[in-house]
Amino acid sequence: MIPPGADTVIVRYGELYTKGGAVRERMEERLLAHVEALLSTRGVEYEVERRWTRPLVRTTPGAVADAAETASEAFGVVSTSAAASVPSQMDAILDSLARTARAVYDSGTFAVEARRSCEDLPFTSEDVQEEGGAAVWDAVADAFEPAVDLEDPDVTFFVECRADETFVFLEKCDGPGGLPFGSQDRLVSLFSGGIDSPVATYEAMRRGSPVVPVYVDLGDYGGPDHRARAVEAARRIAGVVPHDDGSLYRVPAGKSVAAIADELDRGRMLALRRYMFAAAERIARRVDASGIVTGESVGQKSSQTARNLRLTSAATDLPVHRPLLTVDKDEITRRARRIGTFEEAAIPAGCNRIVPPRPETNGRLERLREVEPDDLLERARADAADAEVIEL
């Protein structure tokens, strides 16, 4: 629901408030750059105003709903609201509340929730709530019998009073939260396009890191559907940050993967994961990334037991970031649906053909090094050096 004449979007951020001085200013600049990039890409008319308390997006009444929804996608944004802007005068506020009530309130209970950020105003937030409630009541009393419920109302009229203007709005559009994109170092992610890796990539981006997806092409053990799934999921994730030069690195691993499958039965998946980490590290050096992101979750697969995570991580000197380490599969799936990557992940890709009959759940590094190809990590780095760059 949107108030009549709404032409302003209030942008709220959370964790930025804990930062001080120049750090907060730089982060806010990055956040607003992300907001502007999203609005421009979607063709939404806008003008951004930086305010110390909350940034504002000015637009037209016809575009305000799209602007609020689009701005809410930026990393670091906690919520947005499409609001009507009026002078910070009681008469103007009450008039806006009455017009809004007549437009949207036709049954059930209501409440007026007001906050005041300027103590110099000649009224308090309690004054706005009391007089505003009366204005809403009077506006609809001829149409039906309204009722006040301050605990769980059907309709809430929100009012934010500042020194120079006041905003009336009805809803808050939730954002991803986190930190502004680009406020942390670049990372690479092992990106298969399944359910887990796109979500892990998104979560790392939500904490401020640009992330370069690295797709290890399994050759005959993956196939064109596997590749297409990964590219499409990466493209969808890249669409969230249109101001970033998104690209995916495809590592041609077919011959190496076939060799691992031929030479290993038990321990095959651990050797493959170690190959992937070594390849990702090579790409990370190439793009100046500070670490590797994976979609691994403790115990979800045989290669993801606590012991095996330690064993596979030993293939790289870079830190391995696992945003989903303790997240249940059902929750990961819900997140994939929310960010729009579940459809691609559900495409049957046939990559499970490489899984051996008896997966290793309790690997030993010494034993694995004895049975895996001697040049496994060197081969991974060589394959990564020949990686194809796919622009997203």
> Are 65 and 103 members of one domain?
yes
* Residue 181 counted as domain residue: no
Mean pLDDT, the chain, rounded, equals: 92
Q: What is the pLDDT of residues 186-240, one digit of tens each?
A: 999 999 989 999 999 999 999 999 999 999 999 988 878 888 899 999 999 999 9
In the chain, the DSSP E strands lie at 8-13, 47-49, 56-58, 77-87, 109-116, 147-148, 155-161, 165-169, 173-174, 187-190, 211-217, 247-252, 292-293, 320-321, 388-391
Same domain, 132 and 244: no
* Per-residue pLDDT band at 20 (split at 50, 70, 90): confident
Q: In 3-state terms, the chain is what percent helix, strand and coil (to 5)?
A: 45, 20, 40
Q: How confident is the model at residue 245 (pLDDT cuts 50, 70, 90)?
A: confident
In a domain, 58, yes or no: yes
Q: What is the CATH number of the domain that holds 87?
A: 3.30.2130.30
Structure tokens at 120: 């110099």
pLDDT tens by residue, 102-145: 999 999 999 999 999 888 899 999 999 999 999 999 999 999 99
Do 217 and 96 sit in the same domain of this protein? no
Instruction: Kindly state the DSSP code that residue 1 receives in the 8-state scheme.
Output: -
Where residue 306 sits, what CATH number does that domain have?
A: 3.40.50.620
User: Each residue of 266-301: pLDDT tens digit?
Assistant: 788 899 999 999 999 999 999 999 999 999 999 998
- 107 falls within a domain: yes
**DSSP class of residue 293?**
E
Query: Which residue would you say has higher pLDDT here, 347 or 333?
Result: 333
Same domain, residue pair 191 and 168: no
Do 274 and 223 lie in one domain? The reply is: yes
Asked whether residue 239 is domain-assigned, the answer is yes
Taking the alpha carbons at both ends of the chain, their separation in whole angstroms is: 35
Domain identity same for 265 and 379: yes
Two tokens, residue 382: 């060589």
Same domain for 129 and 221, yes or no, is no
Q: Which of 115, 146, 174 is the last residue of a domain?
A: 174
User: Does 117 fall in a domain?
Assistant: yes
Q: Quick check: is 311 in a domain?
A: yes
88 and 231 share a domain? no
Of 109, 140, 174, the residue at which a domain comes to its end is: 174
Q: Does residue 237 sit in the same domain as residue 192?
A: yes
Let me know if residue 3 belongs to a domain.
no
Q: How many domains does the chain have?
A: 2
In a domain, 156, yes or no: yes
Please check the confidence at residue 350 and state whether its pLDDT lies above 60. Answer: no
Whether residue 276 contacts residue 260, with contact meaning beta carbons closer than 8 Å, is answered with no
In this prediction, residue 18 carries a pLDDT of 83
Domain check: are 17 and 80 in the same one?
yes
Determine the number of helices (DSSP H) and then strands (DSSP E) in the chain.
13, 15
Task: Answer yes or no: do 162 and 207 share one domain.
Answer: no
Give the tens place of pLDDT for each residue, 139-191.
999 999 999 999 999 999 999 999 889 999 999 999 999 999 999 999 999 99
3-state secondary structure of 371: helix
Give the structural domain span for 225.
Answer: 187-391
Q: Are residues 200 and 244 in the same domain?
A: yes
Which of 174, 207, 224 delimits the end of a domain? 174
| Confidence bin at 348 (pLDDT 50/70/90) | low
